[in-house]
Amino acid sequence: MTVYDIEAQSIDGPARKLEEFRGKVLLIVNVASRCAFTGQYAGLEALYQRWKDRGLVILGFPCNQFGKQEPGDEAAIKSFCSLKYNVTFPMFRKVEVNGADTHPLYQLLKSEKPGTLGTTSIKWNFTKFLVDASGNVLRRYGPSTGAGRIEKDISSLLATPQAAG
């Protein structure tokens, strides 16, 4: 099984097959609106704007499992992301990333790239997974790792942007 075999509900409702992202570099993030790391939305959106035309797609998966920091419904989450951070990258419905109801995507991501000392549990909001254009899960980043520190890994997977002239 690869990420391309998985389906997830978009924040607007319809199911999306992750197959549609084949050939793209993916940064998959479990997000929350009321977290100390929520400000990372700004860096993620900036990263997306810089690299989307070269093949980067950031996928946001709201999660309410950590301190109940994503209590709103999908409409509230979408509104918050749009109004506060102008998020334009694809967002999905709330998912569970740990426990018996873990979304299949997170089952796969955690099994492919365990955390520190081999633990599979997601520790907090804004844990990030980098997936290459062939669907290989390459890296797992902790919640405190901001977009700026991930950009060099992304740029190595994508063509270098042409200098403005």
Residue 136 is classified by DSSP as -
Domain extent for 38: 22-157
AA letter at 19: E
Establish if 12 belongs to a structural domain. Answer: no
Establish if 10 belongs to a structural domain. Answer: no
CA torsion angle 17 47 148 65 (round to 10): -40
Please state the domain count of the chain: 1
CATH number at residue 78: 3.40.30.10
E strand intervals along the chain: 7-9, 15-17, 25-31, 56-62, 128-131, 137-141
pLDDT score of 161: 45
Query: Of all helices (H) and strands (E), which one includes residue 153?
Result: helix 147-157
Establish if 41 belongs to a structural domain. Answer: yes
Distance (Å, whole) CA 80 – CA 3: 27
Establish if 141 belongs to a structural domain. Answer: yes
pLDDT along the chain (165 residues), means of 10: 95 94 97 92 97 97 95 93 94 97 97 84 95 95 94 86 40
AA letter at 144: S
Establish if 14 belongs to a structural domain. Answer: no
Establish if 99 belongs to a structural domain. Answer: yes
Establish if 115 belongs to a structural domain. Answer: yes
Active site amino acids:
35
Establish if 8 belongs to a structural domain. Answer: no
